[in-house]
Amino acid sequence: MATQNKIQKNSLIIFLFTLVVIAQTATSQNCLTIGCPGINECCSHTGYCGTNVEHCGFWCLSGPCQLSKSSSSYRLNDGPRGKIESIVTPALFHRLMRKVGSNCTGKGFYTREAFITAVKSFEGYKGTVAKREIAAILAQFSYESGNFCYKEEVTSETYCSSSKTYPCQSGKKYYGRGLLQSIKWNEFYGEAGKYLGLPLLKDPDMVARSPEVAFKFAMWFWKTEVGPSLRLGFGATTMRINGIECGGMSWNAEAMQNRINQYLEICKWFGVNPGKDLYC
């Protein structure tokens, strides 16, 4: 009887282990739609997550992809500069928000004051900033939040990975919130919280409650993850944020063009040259 119980116990352990492996495999094969759970992982064009050259090299679609060593002739952080308050005036911010519908959860949530406070809380943005980079930031924030319409991603997914550094908290979900709703998973909330000094792992909903936290959360990703691509032009920032639109496939061409159009429009408002490297 004892031997039989031991066999049943071992069988149960093997079964549970298999379920974990299957779940992890499913996640790794799904990164084209749900992203990679690890902050250091890249999503390849085949839908697998990893950190090797086959994931982060030429066919990398999102995450910390290995960037080209060359630079664009129009770096996003070059060109005309000014203080953030003088670039994003009340009139310009109102112009951005006029597209927000009355039925949007983000209506009245995202404010100019919260944006300026968040931007100036990061080193490198406290003095003068490049107008072209601010145009790119606003365009990406606008596109990823549905023209500032949404505070949260519309999903029932939990986005909880088996991270030892940033374990999921009971009852919490780590789907996209705020301005860059492609930011998901507990590792990203944990890392952002550590950087910002905020309990985002325990309270991810803070991003959808506070406009200042929402902008800081997005700016954290921009500075730490998107920042290295600024020398390559606008298209490279899209690769960092939502690379599944890259590659020139017909099914994503319209989405990419809509994103670019927003950037071109804001560059026109600022009176700056958008550059040539718009596609990724």
Q: Is residue 230 part of a domain?
A: yes
Domain match, 124 and 230 both? yes
Which parts of the chain fold into alpha helices (H)? 2-29, 31-34, 53-56, 84-87, 90-97, 112-120, 131-144, 186-196, 206-209, 211-221, 234-242, 250-270
Token couple for 130 = 């490049």
Domain count within the chain:
2
Q: Do both 99 and 4 map to the same domain?
A: no
Torsion angles phi and psi, residue 22, rounded to 5: -60, -45
Contact 158, 185 (CB under 8 A): no
Q: Does residue 16 sit in the same domain as residue 148?
A: no
Q: Is the pLDDT of residue 98 over 70?
A: yes
- Residue range 217-265, pLDDT digits in tens: 999 999 999 998 898 899 999 988 988 787 765 567 888 899 999 999 9
Answer whether residue 223 is part of any domain: yes
Global confidence as pTM: 0.83
In-domain check, residue 69: no
The answer to whether residues 95 and 30 belong to one domain is no
Whether residues 15 and 93 share a domain: the answer is no
* Same domain as 270, residue 152: yes
Question: Higher pLDDT residue, 209 or 250?
Answer: 209
User: Can you give the pLDDT at residue 41?
Assistant: 85
Q: 30 is in which domain, residue-wise?
A: 1-62
Say yes or no: 91 and 53 in one domain: no
Residue 109 has pLDDT above 90, yes or no: yes
97 lies in the same domain as 151: yes
Where does the pLDDT of residue 56 fall: very low under 50, low under 70, confident under 90, or very high at 90 and above?
A: confident
pLDDT tens column, 147-167:
999 999 988 899 999 999 999
pLDDT band at 1 (very low <50, low <70, confident <90, very high): low
- 215 and 98 housed in the same domain: yes
DSSP 3-state assignment of 20?
helix
Residues 99 and 48 in one domain: no
Tell me how many helices (H) and strands (E) the chain has.
12, 5
147 belongs to a structural domain: yes
**Is there a domain that residue 68 lies in?**
no
Identity of residue 231: R
Is 95 in the same domain as 52? no
Q: For residues 224 and 38, give the distance between their C-alpha atoms in angstroms, rounded to a whole number.
A: 15
171 conformational bin, left if phi > 0, alpha if psi -120 to 50, beta if neither: left
Tell whether 151 and 57 lie within a shared domain: no
Which are the catalytic amino acids? Answer: 144
SS3 154: coil
